[in-house]
Amino acid sequence: MESKLIFYPVVAQIIITFIIYSRLPAVKKRALENDEVDLVRRPLHDDAWPDEVLKISNNVKNQFESPVLFYALCFMLWALNSVSYIALSAAWIYVVLRVVHIRVHTGSNEIPIRKKVFMASTAFLMVLCGCVIKGLLVTN
């Protein structure tokens, strides 16, 4: 399998991050226009913003948590020339689950659903980690 294929889900995850980032200014602007922001607390306190802004803001922060592991694992797979159908499938499923997580996190924000989606995406990170470990063992 061509190793560079692992970069397609990586680019997709990066685009997803940009999309969620691009939503933040619009919801902040709307909150400011509707006088929903505590202007005194705004510079230093996230709770100065209404829930709709906090959902997006928290999700932006979330894009720099487990996705960082995803990026590292994908680059390791590429460097080890260990991209397999299993690894590529796990990477794409991870990205799809991240989209579902974004929808839940910025929508209903129901914790039980969000937790299940997060745990499922983490399971696919573990699959990717297993592929990296396999690649390390085969390479040595």
pLDDT digits (tens, 9 = 90+) for 13-57: 999 999 999 999 999 999 999 999 999 998 899 889 999 999 999
**What's the token pair of residue 104?**
């839940």
Can you spell out the DSSP letters for 60-105?
HHHTTSHHHHHHHHHHHHHHTT---HHHHHHHHHHHHHHHHHHHHH
- How many domains would you assign to the chain? 1
Expressed as residue numbers, the domain containing 49 is 3-139
The CATH code of the domain that includes 131 is 1.20.120.550
> Cβ of 53: how many Cβ atoms within 10 Å?
22
Split at pLDDT 50, 70, 90, the class of 85 is: very high
**pTM of the shown model:** 0.92
